[in-house]
Amino acid sequence: MTEIIIIRHGETEWNITGRFQGHSDIPLSAAGHEQAELLGKNIALDGIDKIYASDLIRAVETAQPLAARFRLPVEKDEALRELNFGTWEGRYFSEINEETPDLMKQFYRDPESIDIPGIENFQEFRRRVAGRVREIAAQNKGRRIVLISHGASIRILFADILSMPVRAIWHVSQFNTAVNRIRFEDDGFAAITLMNDTAHLSM
């Protein structure tokens, strides 16, 4: 059995102000750094074998306290990046909702059908993230691996594992530094054993 622990990055200023981040390289806020420290200190693990993180700074900074605790390097992986939101990147949710409320509703109800210039195709996004996570699991059989990624990336992975339609992904909560555990059998069968856990923040 292989365990993949996939964790959302800590808080950023853009999370606070409600802006689409995507591939924009936004660092953690002061509160985000505190969350990362609490994660590294309090997460209930007696050992891990490897740590991978999206190559975006908010994921790398989230991984660093955990890496220091277990004396492991952080392996940066572009395939674990967030969804590319195209021309919506950097824009405020409220601004887009005010300009095009129907388009915003469509994004949350049927994201695959939306036409935003430059947005990443959701099926390609699914193959990118879920394919890479399954590849990491296959390469590390019998180990416990931590991945630091992003909200939509984790949701699209869950859609792949649970055979959910893409339109259902926004019904899954992922708080900053939320911990999720997935068990992979040797044949690739996967089961989610923990979802959206932030107990480490209240210790």
User: Which residues line the annotated binding site?
Assistant: 8-15, 58
Q: Which amino acid is at 68?
A: A
Closest CA relative to residue 125, chosen from 87, 152, 163, 93: 152
| Known binding residues for substrate | 8-15, 58
Give Cα separations from 197 to 23, 43, 63, 69, 89 (angstroms): 25, 10, 16, 20, 27
Give Cα separations from 78 to 19, 49, 133, 137 (angstroms): 21, 20, 12, 17
Q: Which of 82, 89, 150, 200 is catalytic?
A: 82
Residue 82 annotated as catalytic: yes
Give Cα separations from 104 to 114, 150, 157 (angstroms): 9, 20, 23
Residue 200 annotated as catalytic: no
Q: Which residues are catalytic?
A: 9, 82
